Amino acid sequence: MGGYAKLNYMNAVYTPIESEFSSAEQEQAYDRWLSEKVAASLAKADNPQTPRYSTDEVMRRMDAIVQAAQARHASSRLA
C-alpha cells in the first residue's frame, strides 16, 4: 500500500466546523446537482456527434482569446 491509506472523500463525515455547507440538506442538494452535471458531461463526451478538438487546436483558440483580452486591456488603459 506504500504507506498511504486510501481515502474515501465521498463518504467522509465532517463536523460543522469542517463542512462548507450549512446543513445536511444543502450538502445533499449539491451532491445531487454535481452528480447530474457529471453524468451530463460524460454523456456528451460519449456522444459521437460531439465535436473533438486536438490539443493544438485548443491552444490556438486559447491563444487568440488571451491576445484579444490583452489587446482590450491595453486599449482601455490608453483611453
Please say whether the beta carbons of 30 and 21 come within 8 A: yes
Taking the C-alpha atoms of residue 23 and residue 30, their distance in angstroms, rounded to an integer, is 11
Q: Note the pLDDT tens digit of each residue in 54-63.
A: 999 999 999 9
Q: Note the pLDDT tens digit of each residue in 17-75.
A: 677 888 889 999 999 999 999 999 999 999 999 999 999 999 999 999 999 999 999 88
Global pTM reads 0.49
For residues 47 and 76, which has the higher predicted lDDT (pLDDT)? 47
Q: How much is the pLDDT for 10?
A: 64
Taking the C-alpha atoms of residue 51 and residue 32, their distance in angstroms, rounded to an integer, is 27
Please say whether the beta carbons of 19 and 27 come within 8 A: yes
The DSSP code sequence of 22-52 is: SSHHHHHHHHHHHHHHHHHHHHHHH-TTS--
